[in-house]
Amino acid sequence: MSVVVARTSGFCWGVRRAVDMVLAEIKKGRGPFLVFGPLVHNPQVLGALEERGVGMSMDPSDAEGGTLFIRTHGITLEERASVERPGVSVRDLTCPRVGRALALARSRSREGYEVVILGDEGHQEVRAIRSYAGGEKAFVISGPGDAEDLPRLSKPFLMTQTTQDSEVFEAVLEVMRRRFPALEWESTICESTGMRQNELRRLLPKADCVVVVGGRESANTARLASIAREAGLPVFQVESQDELDPKTLKGFRKVVLTAGASTPSWVIRRVRGRLLELQGENVGRALGAVRTMVLGNFHVLPAAVAMGAASAVVVGNAAWMPAILSGALALFALQGLHTVLEAGFSPTPGEERRAFVVRRRNPLTISYFSALALSVVLSAFLPPLWGAFLAGAVGLFAAYSLPLLHSSGAPPSGVRSVPGSRDLLFSSSWALLVCIVPYLTLGGPAGPPAVAIWSLQLVLLLMGRSLLLDLVDLQGDAMLGRDTIPLTLGRRRSEALFWTCAALPVILVAFGFARGLLPAPGLGSFAGSLWLAAGYRLLIRNPFPSELSARLAADGSLFAAGIVPFLASIIFEARVF
């Protein structure tokens, strides 16, 4: 099965603007927060905002202080008159495209036009437009048939709901021009809607079926499904990957995946990932095994061992391996336990990994604690200094992660609120346990400058890996309340930082080799930077990579940076165990 994802899928500009404004207000802390009606027609977005403390009410009088948001679909003139209340800060999140339609309806009504609105009569946006167009004096139609049934109009003006089908509008316009030669009109279909519909129509000839992702109340999502059905294709409209029917979908070879304007990127990625798992029994089983290993953090253990082995052949010796294994077990355990705690912090997981962890919390927790216990047992056979460093790592983990147990929905304060603190802690912990601490406790043939160069390039590579994952899901991280580096610096600066982290390890290792500080196998670490660069290019080409593919692209760099130097040491017999 091949899956083609429409690049225009997901948040439109108006929805992204509204969500960003809500998140900005949450950061200011001017609560309580309430939306007058649903902000958008998507259950995952509403659920994520509810976790952040944003409520919803159909009665603006429920707002008692704090901030009241006006939904993206706009509100009627009567509703607008009721939102102004003492002590309540009102933030209007009406989509500017809808706002333009409201202003146009009001101006044409005041000029004496009889406004005809092409749209869904019960939709909130249409209700708002009609109120601005004179209320009951305005007409709402849904297609050419309704246009034929309109009474005689002396001064008609035709406009549209912003999410209307452009081809339906053309058909209605043809009827209206024939019936009313003096007709004036303006299409108020937003550019995003038109682009989304046109792209889907271009992709339909390549498809056996179409999967449309979006809320059931979403008008633009329903419109996409209708366009696909009109082309004679089977259509599966779902809100999440859990609604996909494997038995039905396995019979199709070419699937087009598109999504409504209020569908978050993480939902699209999870649907795409689930579709890719349906590629035949053998492929699906293999993908399922890889998915379990990656989402359960089990790949961390061999990755840490590989990077530790590379450190041993470049700046250490074979005596490091017990310490490397102890450190790898500790990294696997602590990183896994942090994931479990973080999954509990977000009751409605936005990430695929969080959902995976929530469903398997108990067995995963047992495996992580077992790994930590084994790490402690191994440390008993190592110098006491190793045990002290290991205890320090566990203490640092407790200080950083255990506050999640007491979280009430808002991100914790302290060091966790510092942008990039998680990434920096992750990177430095790996460098410490797979290189610096083994060197301090067990020694090695390399001098401190060589160890410093090798450790620094490890930190930079690991930071690049974390930045790559953060860049893939800026939207999801913002919705979940994370303070990542890309959310603080912005995409362009973060991309520049990513390339710096990918390139500097190459420069550092090349410098160390040129100065005779590092042996030739150390040059094999270039593979990690090359993997990161290739992973970035592949993910950028795909607008909605699955979380599994993103983690393989990022974490594969750790395996490459560890395995290649180790193999090089054997091939060139530079320093063999």
The predicted model gives 347-351 an average pLDDT of: 51
Dihedral sign from CA coordinates of 361, 364, 366, 371: negative
Q: DSSP for 230-281, please give it.
A: HTT--EEEESSGGG--HHHHTT-SEEEEEE-TT--HHHHHHHHHHHHTTS-H
Whole-angstrom Cα Rg for the chain: 28
- Measured CA to CA, the distance from residue 491 to residue 484 in angstroms comes to 11
Higher pLDDT, 102 or 286: 102
Q: Which tokens sit at 446?
A: 């390399």
CA atoms within 13 A on the CB side of 87: 7
Judge whether 467 and 505 are in contact, CB under 8 Å: no
Phi, psi torsion values for 8, nearest 5 degrees: -85, 5
Question: What six digits make up the tokens of 9?
Answer: 């899928």
Please write the tens of the pLDDT for every residue from 66-86: 999 999 999 999 999 888 888
pLDDT at 533: 96
Name the active-site residue from 51, 114, 125, 547.
125
577 pLDDT exceeds 60? Answer: no
For the stretch 264-302, pLDDT in tens is: 988 998 898 888 877 655 566 777 788 888 888 999 999
Which residue's structure tokens are 């002590």? 87
Predicted local distance difference test score (pLDDT) of residue 576: 42
Q: Span 318-335, mean pLDDT? A: 94
pLDDT band at 409 (very low <50, low <70, confident <90, very high): very low
Per DSSP, helices labelled H in 473-576 are 474-479, 485-489, 491-514, 526-541, 547-571
Element (H, E) at 352: helix 352-359
| pLDDT above 60: residue 317 | yes
- What pLDDT score was predicted for residue 282? 56
Assess whether 495 carries a catalytic annotation: no
Averaged pLDDT of the chain: 89
Selected residue with higher pLDDT from 576 and 71: 71
Backbone φ and ψ for 509, nearest 5 degrees, come out as: -70, -40
Q: In this predicted model, what pLDDT tens digit does every residue of 132-184 receive, in sequence order?
A: 999 989 999 999 999 999 999 999 999 999 999 989 999 999 999 999 999 99
CB burial readout 150-163, b (16+ within 10 A) else e:
beebeebbbbbbbb
How confident is the model at residue 413, as a pLDDT?
53
* pLDDT for the residue numbered 34: 94
| C-alpha span between 111 and 251 (Å, rounded) | 57
Q: Going from the N-terminus, what domains does the chain have, and what CATH number goes with each?
A: 13-95 (3.40.50.11270), 98-189 (3.40.1010.20), 193-290 (3.40.1010.20), 292-571 (1.10.600)
Range 88-114 average pLDDT: 95
What is the 3-state composition of the chain as percent helix, strand, coil, each rounded to the nearest 5? 65, 10, 25
Closest CA to 353 of 146, 199, 514, 548: 548
- Percent of the chain residues past pLDDT 90, beyond the cut: 65
What is the rounded distance in angstroms from the CA atom of residue 340 to the CA atom of residue 368? 10
Tell me the average pLDDT across 492-511.
Answer: 96
Decide if pLDDT at 574 tops 60: no
Q: Which of 104-108, 273-277, 318-322, 569-573 has the lowest average pLDDT?
A: 569-573
Spell out the residues 6+ positions from residue 88 whose beta carbon is closer than 8 angstroms to its own.
63, 64, 65, 66, 67, 68
- 531 contacts 560 by C-beta, under 8 angstroms: yes
pLDDT tens by residue, 20-45: 999 989 888 878 999 999 999 999 99
The per-residue pLDDT for 318 is: 87
The more confidently predicted of residues 563 and 423 is 563
Structure tokens at 415: 């060091």
Residue 338 CA to its chain's centroid (Å): 19
pLDDT at 211 over 70: yes
pLDDT at 349: 45
What's the pLDDT tens digit per position in 412-431?
A: 455 666 767 888 888 999 99
345 band by pLDDT with thresholds 50, 70 and 90: low
Kindly report which listed range (72-76, 118-122, 150-154, 569-573) carries the lowest average pLDDT score. 569-573
pLDDT band with cut points at 50, 70 and 90 for residue 549:
confident
Residue 558 has pLDDT above 50, yes or no: yes
Average pLDDT over residues 305-321: 93
Rounded Cα distance between 448 and 315, Å, is 9
Distance CA 271, CA 241 (A): 4
pLDDT given for residue 387 in this prediction: 92
The rounded distance, in Å, linking the Cα atoms of 5 and 256 is 6
pLDDT in tens, 352-381: 777 788 888 899 999 999 999 999 999 999
Task: Label residues 204-227 b or e (16+ Cβ within 10 Å = b).
Answer: beebebbbbbbbeebbbbbbbbeb
pLDDT, tens digit, for every residue of 437-459?
A: 999 999 989 999 999 999 999 99
User: What does the alpha-carbon distance between residue 118 and residue 175 come to, in Å, rounded to a whole number?
Assistant: 13
Across 529-543, average pLDDT: 90
Q: What are 484's two structure tokens?
A: 């990542």
If one compares 527 and 290, the residue with the highest pLDDT of the two is: 527
Phi, psi of 140 (to 5 degrees): -115, 125
- pLDDT for residue 457: 97
* Cα–Cα nearest to 480, from 384, 416, 541, 424: 416
